[in-house]
Structure 1
């Protein structure tokens, strides 16, 4: 097949060039054709030399009167100078460190020169212009590098856009061999061009409008396939079976009335969405989003309580032992009054409703269903942990928990693996059910990403904070104001409060990050000699980490210095100040997570963003953090500032750059989402669309979101 021809079969691509192209993930003709320009140089304005304006980007056509190389000993480089003439005047062109040009472009040669015109020694001059030799005695060729909108491609060392234009242009003669995956009716509805035209115009557009329309076509293709993939994934989940959880209104009311506070409207709405999902015979796949402290855990606890009262079991997984114990210590006393036992199982401890147990004893109780709710880390997925009738999995801080992982909790790994490997799909009966899944996250997802990357999940949002919770005051602190901030923290601690200090993010190595944390600890020890300071970093053993956290929670430490490993969700109501050193090095979502370590009690809390950066972009980003009222607002600002590519799971997903860039285009997202829905309603198995089926197979191999 033409598109699968290896690049080494293309004339003018040798071994060296092939290796360079492979760095750009180009191995076949298809890869070359779909290696799109990321911008265009506008050299379409062709003018006479006499009409050139300084600072303009233009193209002139003229004859080479003279060309020579000059060696500048001072800077140790070659300068190539050419004098070009048309019927209106002459102009000089200068190239740096390209002495071979004097051989390539001879006197009396007719050339196009395209580039920016600068002023040099009071004369107009082209500096490093693109050039193209015009052959008058041969069939007129369309210019590639000058006199038009010129494509500029993603490049690698030793592989220029000029060369890419040279090898891509001849391939465009064969674009009629590229299959068009979109149905004709869909192209007509959204006014999308044919694939052949789009390929021609994205590489060598006649005008910028054509280039944009071609980009839209390919962005639509990629997003449509993504939406189709997610819609089918959702459909596959609905075809599986899950235990039905009945809703007992009186019990739910008793539980809510027993709480020492009133639920927010968002909590009530989200709890109802979850309860309705669990009443259905197919598995729930819901993500509960909410700011730190918005009350996600209590919503999940209500769902777990309802499942337990249906004689079912619940696995409640947290990312760390500290968080697991924190959930356990909050939940078991709450449910003990209702006769529901709650267990804790991590790699280092086990317990049931406040009483310590051996792991073996607890595993027996889980197997016999005497422990209906089990809270723990990934220790819950171990083979020696068997649930009798698992109905609900709650995951804290993980957007996705695959069907195979859910099955692992049900001890049915082999059957799921059989399904995953593409063998004949299993039709699940009542003996093999997939538990409902509720994921929780304090990292809000922008709306457009929620409709695409996380399109296989139903979303519930907690945008309101519990009553009485005071907004955290956030301040950007330049170096000159640090002493004042330290004095403020001293007063807070003397008033009985505590403080976090987050060290700068260091990407190079864990060793450097630990060194940074130790240096920060020593510096603060000198600034606050009267206070007890703790240190938390990634190289500490789990028991050492827990001992430090326990000392801080128990108020034996006044200041906790930590690297970015500080656990999401750690609850220290007495901590009212957090200092984030090198705030400009962290993403907005991380800064918001850190800020959520404080503001969990009755006292006013403060977040101080320390930065030495004076860049406008840093100021814009940190201002977004200081002014955003909640994580959802901040997530949208982050998307606006950084673009979709830097969001967790997006850049690593394998999606093409053009699709990633379109993840903030709400109109295009809604169009592709609606199109995918319509097509699946019409033809759920896509029997009439074999090209789309093939595309989905390729998409699954290339793209991953787990």
Structure 2
């Protein structure tokens, strides 16, 4: 039986989402069913029956639900690991070397030890543990525990070694009782003076265990609480007393706390040791203790036991990073890092191990992105565009303003890209109102004047409509047609657009997801422009690009992304920044308010509307929520129209309205028919009304800083002074400090950096659409310095050998991690 091929097929099927992948000859399920049926291995009858049962289940794989497929693949992987190990042991026994081989000592990298803690793996004769061995065969684990570990995706010894702790408790520091400081985690060595175990007089289900201990500096009481009727048994309680006799020496670890009875350890871990100077032989006391992510039915003790049993196999790990690279960046070897991430000797050992493994996570991600970028630069496109021409010159003439220095710099970046024989793949980042659309139009005109078509895709109908309106104004002056295609476009109009695109009569099409979903065919697509690109999935962006033959791609975002996120998400893109606002724009005056300041906010609104200007009022919800005490858009609209501003016309806009209703609400506001627009975050992008001068955001603490900055950007688009009022409903100091950032800064990049620190990358980008890889250890907030050096190292490696042919171990590791990190898909 081809064990490796079967396990690889099962692994790929799991990584790709249990979709019954099609291979070169057979579907996954057919390949498994055939292979298991044709097995010629002589197995015990029960194993042979199981093999046949699995083969039959794969024959019906197409009819199974997702969870049934998931279970079947996991069960088969475990069975094959166990069977392969059994076969190997039978071969060893037949050759007469089985017992000798298994009793031979192996070289082990010793994990976690302190001067007073025994090593977890000693140099005695141990059974050899191999990386690809099933966890069932680990000493002390067995079949029952291996089933539990399988719930965490741990099937092999290698899986266990790479299952990193989510945190550590540092109990390595030993102190005297008199030196205990609340808030620290420590270990004490002391003598038992008194031991008691009794039923709580106040709670019938609670049992209290108390230990009074003393060292040369003082005395203290340790308590543990046990909930459950089985602990009320007198026999169990007496056993505890016998376990800790008076005069016994104990080591106790925990968090120091001060309560009304004095200083103590919270929920202490306690072990009896031989004497005061004895080594501590424990997984939970006197050392840096790993805390693992667990799931229901899998206890911490079982997982720690599996890790300890797997640690001897660390010596078999080969380090893919060359020694010179490790020396350049001060990185420890892989074996030492893996051993010490689980049971480090001390906090310094943990830091060093973690740094190496975080570097690996970032390094292979950057390597993959840079390799993709190198491949893109090898692609050839027949679309080379001139940097000047009649259309571009006419456009500059009809523009009522001059481009800023930043806009000119970015335009030059783009026009240089368009002349190269490789397709452009550039991201333009620009703050709200910085003029990204104008820059995109220059690129679009370069494509059109060379005889190509262009397409601009936006994530919402509101934003697509906004782009369309602006482009129509400019394109009419240039006598060029432009059309809009969204989900609301009527079928007759849709057919006309399709026809004009196919003949080449339509040079530019603006739209939403409808551009992808529709049977849209371009005659000669030369440029793809994607706005707010982070709101689209990878596949959606790729589908639009595939409508042309290696078209140039320009992506834009008004959500400034900190460098760490940009490297992680867009490491294969060229990035340009428009870091300058058009002249004449006044900074928006931003003020943080509480409920008692509401009357001041309403006074400001009245004053501004009386002077002919307009106001946004933004809320986080559409309907009133029973669970959250938040104002809803509908409720607030009625309140403001009837109770607060009856003299003004108030409008309403939210995401549940039909496209026609949204258009009507925006049009009325744009035409000054409504003075105040109550809205949800639909207005975050796309609504451009230069006359609006006040943005009042209710429950501002419910929004991220980047989103608030986007909302604030809806005002301040004219020459008049504008205001953003942040109504804070939270009583926490953290929320107030976070919102204060907006009071102090108008810089979108600084604000997004602070947002990243306050909320984390998943929340900043929107977790579902973020495209963020799933790191086991690395943090984009805490490990920015490691990301920088990992990027530098990856650039040097790719510069020397883009295909990694001189570093085969690194190449294999990259292929494995790229599948795991990104599910086999390209990020951008």
Other-structure match for 1:266: 406
For 1:474 and 1:387, the matched residues in 2 are separated by: 46
- The CA distance in 2 between the partners of 1:44 and 1:479, in whole Å, is 49
For each residue in 1:502-556, what CA deviation from the matched residue of structure 2 results, as whole angstroms up to 9, or x when unmatched?
A: 1135999999999822222222232222222222222222222222222222222
How far did residue 386 of structure 1 move? 1.0
Q: In the alignment, what sits opposite 2:723?
A: 606
Identify the residue that residue 392 of structure 1 maps to in structure 2: 527
Give distance in 2, aligned partners of 1:392 and 1:467. Answer: 30
Distance 1:25 1:518 in 2: 47
Q: Does the Cα contact within 8 Å between 1:500 and 1:578 map onto a contact in 2?
A: yes
Q: Name the structure 1 match of 2:595.
A: 479
Q: CA offsets per residue over residues 283-338 of structure 1, 9 Å max, x none? A: 11111111111100000011101110001110111222332232222213323333
Give the drift of 1:53.
6.4
Mapping for residues 21-40 of structure 1, pairs under 5 Å: 26=154, 28-40=156-168
Pair 1:502 & 2:618 matched: yes
Q: Which residue of 122, 146, 149 corresponds with 2:285? A: 146
Q: Give the superposition deviation at 1:589.
A: 0.9
Q: Secondary structure at the match of 1:647?
A: helix
Shift of 1:685: 1.7
Of 565, 579, 586, which residue of structure 1 is paired with 2:696?
579
Aligned length in residues: 679
- Aligned partners of 2:251, 2:306: CA distance in 1, in Å? 20
Structure 1's 56 and 198: CA in aligned 2 closer, same or farther, altered over 3 A?
Answer: closer
CA contact under 8 A between 1:475 and 1:626: conserved in structure 2?
yes
Report Cα offsets for 1:113-172 as digits up to 9, x if no partner.
112455566655444211224368xx9664321222333334456656555434322322
3-state secondary structure, aligned to 1:84: strand
Matches within 5 A, 1:572-651: 572-648=689-765
Q: Secondary structure at the match of 1:129?
A: strand
Given candidates 631, 636, 655, the residue that maps to 1:520 is 636
Structure 1 distance, partners of 2:630, 2:699, is: 15
Alignment match of 1:68 (pick from 189, 196, 216): 196
410 and 658 in structure 1: CA distance in 2 versus 1, 3 angstrom threshold: closer
Aligned to 1:107: 244
Distance 1:41 1:259, change over 3 A: same
1:653 matches 2:772: yes
Do the aligned residues in 2 keep the contact of 1:308 with 1:340 (CA within 8 Å)? no
* Partner in structure 2 of residue 323 of structure 1: 463
TM-score by length of structure 2 reads 0.75
> How far apart, CA to CA, are the structure 2 residues paired with 1:692 and 1:117?
45
Further displaced range: 322-331 or 456-465 = 322-331
2:616 and 2:701 mapped to 1: Cα distance? 18
Query: Relative to structure 2, which stretch is displaced further, 183-192 or 13-22?
Result: 13-22
d(CA) in 2 for partners of 1:153, 1:101: 30
Equivalent pair of 1:386/1:409 in contact (CA under 8 Å): no
TM-score by length of 1: 0.87
Name the structure 1 match of 2:483: 343
Equivalent of residue 362 in structure 2, options 216, 219, 223: 223
Structure 1's 657 and 346: CA in aligned 2 closer, same or farther, altered over 3 A? same
Distance 1:485 1:150, change over 3 A: same
Checking the alignment, whether the CA contact within 8 Å between 1:514 and 1:538 is kept in structure 2 is no
User: CA offset at residue 480 of structure 1?
Assistant: 0.8
User: Given the alignment, which residue of 311, 316, 335 partners 1:196?
Assistant: 335
Task: Give the stretch that moved more between structures: 335-344 or 582-591.
Answer: 335-344
Name structure 2 gaps, 5 residues minimum.
1-80, 82-129
The verdict on how the C-alpha distance between 1:293 and 1:132 changes in structure 2, with shifts beyond 3 A counting, is: same
Is 1:93 aligned with 2:225? no
1:428-467 residue pairs with structure 2 within 5 A?
A: 433-467=549-583
Alpha-carbon separation, structure 2, partners of 1:596 and 1:449: 22
Aligned to 1:309: 449
Q: Is the 8 A contact 2:187 2:254 kept in 1?
A: yes
* 333-342 vs 208-217, which moves further: 333-342
| Structure 2 CA distance for aligned equivalents of residues 19 and 492 of structure 1 | 68
Aligned mates of 2:507, 2:803 — CA distance in 1? 39
- CA separation of 1:333 and 1:350: change in aligned 2, threshold 3 A: farther
C-alpha distance in structure 1 between counterparts of 2:692 and 2:142, whole Å: 64
The 1:450–1:537 alpha-carbon spacing in structure 2 relative to 1, beyond 3 Å, is same
Greater shift in the superposed pair: 667-676 or 573-582:
667-676
Task: Tell which structure's C-alpha radius of gyration is larger.
Answer: 2
1:187 and 2:326 aligned: yes
Matched with 1:673 is: 791
Query: 1:382, 1:644 → 2: CA distance?
Result: 30
For residues 347-374 of structure 1, give each alpha carbon's deviation from its aligned partner in whole angstroms, at most 9, with x where no partner exists: 33379xxxxx832222211111111111
Q: What SS does the aligned partner of 1:361 have?
A: helix
CA contact (8 A) 2:379 2:423 kept: yes
CA distance in 1, matches of 2:266, 2:343: 24
Q: What 5-or-longer segments of structure 1 have no aligned partner?
A: 352-356, 413-431
Is residue 2:650 matched to residue 1:533?
yes
